[in-house]
Structure 1
Amino acid sequence: MYPILALALLFTAKIKQMSKSNIHFTLSFAEPHAHYVDVQMEIHGFDSDYIEVKMPVWTPGSYLIREYSRHVESFQAVSENRSIAWQKTAKNTWRVANSSSPLQINYRIYGFEASVRTNFIDSDHAFISPAATFLYIDGHLNHPTTLSVKLPEQWSRISTGLDKVEDKENCFYAPDFDILFDSPLELGNQDIWSFDAAGIPHEFAMVGGGKYDKHKLTSDIQKIVEEETRIWGENPNKRYVFVTHNYQSAFGGLEHLNSTILASSRNAYSNENTYKNYLSLVAHEYFHLWNVKRLRPKALGPFDYEQENYTTGLWIMEGFTSYYDNLIIRRCGFFSPKEYLNVLSNDFNLVYNRPGYKLQSAALSSFDTWIKHYRPDENSANTGISYYNKGAILTVALDIKIIAETAGQYCLDYVLRAAYELFYKQENRGFEEDEFQTLAERVTGVDLSEIFTAAHSTKELDYNTYFHAVGHELIDLNEDSQELSLGIKTGVQDGKIIIKQIERGSGAWDAGLQVNDELIGINGIRLDIAGKELDNILTHAEVDEVVDVLVSRDGLLRTIHSPLRRSAKQQWCIRERSEATDHEITLGKIWLSIE
């Protein structure tokens, strides 16, 4: 049989099987105050002796094995009111004897972790993270499913990117489990309003209160949507949903195919700086609508939900997005050029004030995200960097180099649009990094190899080579600082000064001070929790002077002899260059969108 004919027959058989099979979920809440959601999974029409159902161990966009199945309890299988035999065969797998009659699987999920990637249920609302909630039948990730939600009587609203099933109340449809797992649900009494942007209906949902101005938020976010749509050339959604969880203090987000979940402080909207940070967060997660959810490395889809999906390309996906989020806020006029340069400088500070930048490349940081990024410890700053910040500073070099070498005719926008058109729209596949580089160089005519090579190396670029080309310079304001430091970060616990971090290569590192040591005194002087005595000692000491540090380690007193060294803290600033030529100034205005 010819391969094409075999595939055609296989596809036809698959369609016939799916037409007679059915998967339906029902969510209900018997005890939302106790943080439970009850899940019923109805299965019909699968011809096999048994069915294996599985739960994902991670959720796309958040690269950590989270073991969602640990929150599953009260698993049952029934058919026509009789129990069906089942066996748990792996941490996230249940094997259930199949039945000729409809099979019903019931289970409960405990959810009480307030984040954008995990279930949270209480008496006020429920946030349902689908990968942490819904089982799938092994081998049938591409099967369509429907979902009904039975709201508690005190709740009245549902926000989700899933399509509604016509003529059925609170019923939704997903064409496959990839879509289902990428479509979170917010259930409760959230404040909802709608608006159009870039010709697309958008829904906005606010959870947890907050001092926000709907009209201003709508107007400002419309500008962000319009600018991002202009960059990419089209908006691929027919509808988009924003959900913001407002807390006393929070910040973050997670992208989805046609929705995003944000976390913010409920007071962020009444302060100019925190409001702009929130707009930058919106710009970041919305940018992922294209960059990650559609334009993506090969490893990021189709997904294996049972194990890590490795890629070295997160510096492109998150790094590019972390560069563009603030640049878009600048283009929309929310940041002045000076404000934008300050927030861009912060990326350099975040990279270069972590000694780990000498040990870990942006590409390795991407690959190791599964074991490092979401599991920081007291030594993380000494061993690695974030592909968000390192990716962002590599991206500004790319953008500036393209602008400078094409005399402002091209910028990174053109590369993104071309990559989206080729890899997503035309070929519908993920890319390899070398393919992305080749496309970028073909579109712009610029050799970008130095920057792509730097992403896989701990050798740093000379960033002023790029900034000078657009009339700016990157300088370390602390370069000539005489400030001394032990090289530690401390915190106060129960009135005690506790060492929380020790900087690699510092006097404290070499002397053998340890994290969790209680810092009691230096040179016979007892230290105060306000830090005044330590500041006084550092102010009047000499470089390489050895001080006697009295600590309590696990209840035992000891004195550590530690040298004082110049502080390694860097304070980077991007500013206009006084020696810039008229041409360089013109290119700088193009980069910063200055009329």
Structure 2
Amino acid sequence: MKPTSLAILTSSVIFSMSWAMPALADVDYHIDINQPTHHLAQVSVSFPQSDSDVLTVNLPVWRTGRYQVLPVADGVRLFHATDSKGKSLPWKRTASGEWQIALTKPTSVKVTYQLHANELGERLRHIDSSHAFLDASGVFMYSPEFRQQPVTVNMEVPEGWKSYSGMDKGNTSHSFKAANYDVLVDSPIETGINQHVSFEADGRDYDVVFWGEGNYDTQKIVADLTKISGQASAIWPDYPFKRYVYMVHATSGARGATEHLNSTIIQLPRFNFREREDYLRFISTASHEFIHTWNVKAYRPQGLVPYDYQSENMTDLLWMAEGSTSYFQNQLLLRAGVITAKEFFDDLSQRIVLNQHNPGREVQSVAEASLGQWSSTWGDYAVNHSVNIYSEGYLASMALDFSLLSDTQLAHSYRDVHKALYQQYKIPLSYNVADVQSILKNLSGKDYQSWWTEYVNQPFSLPFDDLLAHAGLITTYGQSPKTEVDAGMMLSGLYNDLIIASVLKNGPAWNAGVAAGDEIVAVNGLKVTADGLTKRLNDFNVGDTIKLSIFRDERLKEVSLLLTEQPKGDLSIAPVDKVTDAHKAFYKAWLGVEWPFNDEGEWINTTD
């Protein structure tokens, strides 16, 4: 759906407003990082002349990539507004992220305020003595009246700092410029003491910026990012950018990642890069955020176009925006040779196990989870009554992929759906459910409304073995599977305590009346510790009843719990007994790589 009131800018094309506009004048931003040790900076914004009686100024209440309202404006103090002659203007606070400035005559307006920036974990804003990470949604105010005006950003930073962004460089090494606020808000700045490496892939330029000391291998990271960056053509015909910036933070604990217009920020604790398991987590995240450059940044669902920075942006298709990105991330790594087929399927196996142990899959659909993302907190209630747009969105994407491959005799896959979305619904357009279903019908010749009802609009449980059998695969716990006891509860994992974080619905602990927040102190009258509980439970057999002593609301309580069984060991994915050429063809059409097993059913390549 084409917006009627606001234009959105992609990295390569500027879309004009739908009515005539006066000549554009820059909105000038200036940030003086004058007290980095205390996370403080002074910000000023100079707006062009306004002929209005009131100039409304906003700071977003959420940031792109994080679909939740945040207390962003709590970092602002000492707000002040002046006219073109430097005279103070009266103003009032009208909402959590809104200020209204009274004007008696046409004038330009300068707004100044103090900014506190210590939200590294939110990937919103962070200033300290070594760097500043500035996401404009948490740093720079805007006026809806001038949202489409060109912007410039000038920074005063400590000596020796270097500054990087997906935006174009300005007149100095610490200045940037963008076509409008929408580009600014989607182009974070990393400035400080950092490492920088450049590379080229498939005719595009890339920068990698590292902040923080850690056990990362810059050479390996750059080599793998180069491989990933050349794989986009597996899905999309071209690039929505000419230059891309990977920003990597090695932190004291903060983690997470966020996609932006032509850049990403990825954070991990500083010593969580070296081990293979840690590195796979990092590199798959990098792939995920890179894919977002198309899926979300170049095209996105109706309800997210244009962004409304001051309220929730509702859509029932967040599972496609996030879950489908998760679905593609390791496929790109597999195609690039960054991960092995075994590593790919180890990840899929873990996703299957998590899904099978999630009671919420029987309660909530991915469409409902998409709409509920803005209020999601993911506590004990959510574990039993919700699904995740990332993990279940991955599985819904997989189900759709397998259906499309089967319905088209391998002529089309889910990749073709996203290729069509990119070609037909680039921003400022947007797509809705009917648009996706239309693409599916054009590709397959079949109506996907009933499929959509079954897998998107209502809770679903996938028949994993039936699906994987198309590709000659099956899930297994080994030739002689074993079982172990299951109590159906999880500890918080904090402070080495025995506080129960969640109790799985209809499981042993649930049926015994155990609840989240209870503290276990003994089993059958004998004290247990957090690190010894699992061993203690394994002293019993499936079908045994044990007595748990728990504290609830500081009162001692004893409950009887009947232990059930669960598979012992790790689920894996292996070839079926009789692999056919049809199986191998399906596998190749699905993942784009050759069959990974030899004739004995062993992995051909298990090294990195």
TM-score, length-scaled by structure 2: 0.88
The alignment partner of 1:196 has SS state of: strand
Q: Give the letter aligned to residue 345 of structure 1.
A: S
Q: Which amino acid aligns with 1:506?
A: G
Q: Verify the 8 A CA contact 1:349 1:570 in the aligned structure 2.
A: no
Distance 1:465 1:510, change over 3 A: closer
Correspondence 1:40-189 to 2 at 5 A: 40-79=44-83, 80-98=85-103, 100-115=106-121, 117-153=123-159, 155-165=160-170, 167-168=171-172, 170-189=174-193
The equivalent position to 1:421 in structure 2, one of 423, 441, 444, is: 423
Q: For 2:86 and 2:513, how far apart are their aligned partners in 1?
A: 67
Whichever residue aligns with residue 430 of structure 1, its letter is S
Partner of 2:411: 409
CA contact (8 A) 2:301 2:317 kept: yes
Q: Whose RCO is larger (CA < 8 A, sep 6+)?
A: 2
Residue identity opposite 2:161 in structure 1: S
Pairwise CA distance, 1:392: 1.2
Q: Over aligned residue pairs, what C-alpha RMSD do you find?
A: 2.7
Deviating more after overlay: 506-515 vs 186-195: 506-515
Is the Cα–Cα contact under 8 Å of residues 162 and 173 in structure 2 kept in the other structure? no
Contact 1:22–1:45 (CA under 8 A) maintained in structure 2: no
- Quote the offset at 1:451 in angstroms: 4.4
Instruction: Choose the corresponding residue for 1:254, options 242, 252, 258.
Output: 258
Contact 2:124 2:135 in 1 (8 A): yes
Name the counterpart of 2:9: none
- Quote how far apart the aligned CAs of 1:323 are: 1.0
Letter in 2 for 1:514: A
Kindly provide the CA deviation profile for residues 131-177 of structure 1, in whole angstroms up to 9, marking residues without a partner as x: 11111113432222221111122x42111111223x45533222221
> Paired residue for 2:508?
507
CA contact (8 A) 2:253 2:270 kept: yes
- In the aligned structure 1, how far is the partner of 2:542 from the partner of 2:341? 40
Judged with a 3 Å threshold, the aligned counterparts in structure 2 of structure 1 residues 528 and 222 are, in CA distance, closer, same or farther, namely closer
Structure 1 stretch 432-441 or stretch 447-456: which is displaced more?
447-456
What are the Cα deviations for residues 258-290 of structure 1, in whole angstroms up to 9, with x where unaligned? 111111243444333332332211111011111
Q: Give the whole-Å Cα distance in 2 for the aligned partners of 1:565 and 1:303.
A: 49
**Conservation of the 8 A alpha-carbon contact between 2:197 and 2:209:** yes
Alignment equivalent of 2:380, drawn from 374, 378, 390: 378
Name 2:548's counterpart in structure 1: 549
Residue 7 of structure 1: aligned partner? none
CA gap 1:275/1:503 in 2 versus in 1, 3 angstroms: same
Amino acid at match of 1:370: W
1:310, CA displacement in angstroms?
Answer: 0.8
Does structure 2 conserve the Cα–Cα contact (< 8 Å) formed by 1:77 and 1:86?
Answer: yes
Choose 61-70 or 567-576, whichever is displaced more.
567-576
Matches of 1:430 and 1:160, distance apart in 2: 26
Relative to structure 1, the CA distance from residue 590 to residue 90 in structure 2 (aligned partners, 3 Å threshold; closer, same or farther) is: closer
Give per-residue Cα distances to partners, 1:405-439, cap 9 Å, x unaligned. 444333222222222111128xx411112211221
The match for 2:580 is 581
**Pair 1:490–1:414, CA change in 2 (3 A):** closer
Over 3 Å counting, the alpha-carbon distance change for 1:494 and 1:311 in structure 2 is closer
Contact 2:484–2:542 under 8 Å retained in 1:
no
1:519-530 aligned at under 5 Å gives the runs 519-530=520-531
Tell me which residue corresponds to 1:359: 363
Shift of 1:491: 4.6
What runs of 5+ residues in structure 1 fail to find an aligned partner?
Answer: 5-9
Structure 2 distance, partners of 1:293, 1:243, is: 17
Q: Is the 8 A contact 2:90 2:101 kept in 1?
A: yes
Separation (CA, whole Å) in 2 of partners of 1:347 and 1:117: 26
Kept after mapping to 1: 8 A contact 2:56/2:144: yes
Alignment check: 8 A CA contact 1:208 1:245 kept: yes
Distance 1:124 1:282 in 2: 24
Aligned mates of 1:481, 1:447 — CA distance in 2:
43
Structure 1 356/479 Cα, relative in aligned 2: closer, same or farther at 3 Å?
farther
CA contact (8 A) 1:52 1:95 kept: yes
Aligned to 1:27, the other structure's residue is in SS state strand
Query: 1:446: Cα distance to partner?
Result: 5.6
Q: Distance in 2 between matches of 1:570 and 1:360?
A: 29
Q: What letter corresponds to residue 91 of structure 1 in structure 2? A: S
Counterpart contact for 1:53–1:137, Cα < 8 Å: yes
Aligned residues: 577
Matched, 1:288 2:288: no
Partner of 2:352: 348
Distance 1:415 1:121, change over 3 A: same
Which of 221, 224, 229 pairs up with 1:225?
Answer: 229
| Alignment partner of 1:308 out of 309, 312, 330 | 312
Deviation by residue 1:515-549 (Cα, 9 ceiling, x = unmatched):
232211122222233325x6345533451x44332
> How many Å separate the matches in 2 of 1:479 and 1:386?
33
Where in structure 2 are there 5+ consecutive unaligned residues? 5-15, 596-608
In the superposition, the TM-score normalised over structure 1's length comes to 0.90
**Displacement of 1:587 after TM fit?**
2.2
Question: Match of 1:172, SS?
Answer: strand
> CA offset at residue 291 of structure 1?
0.7
Whether the 8 Å CA contact 1:487–1:567 is kept in 2: the answer is no
Verify: 1:277 aligned to 2:281, yes or no. Answer: yes
Give % identity.
27
| Whole-angstrom distance in 2 between the partners of 1:442 and 1:494 | 55
Q: Which residue of 1 aligns with 2:432?
A: 432
Aligned to 1:540: 540
CA distance in 1, matches of 2:251, 2:457: 38
| Cα shift at 1:49 | 2.1
Note if contact 1:451-1:461 (Cα within 8 Å) is conserved in structure 2. no
Q: What is the distance in 1 between the residues matched to 2:494 and 2:475? A: 38
d(CA) in 2 for partners of 1:302, 1:527: 55
Question: Alpha-carbon deviations, 1:470-520, whole Å to 9, x = none?
Answer: 211235679975432332222566665222221211232223223232211
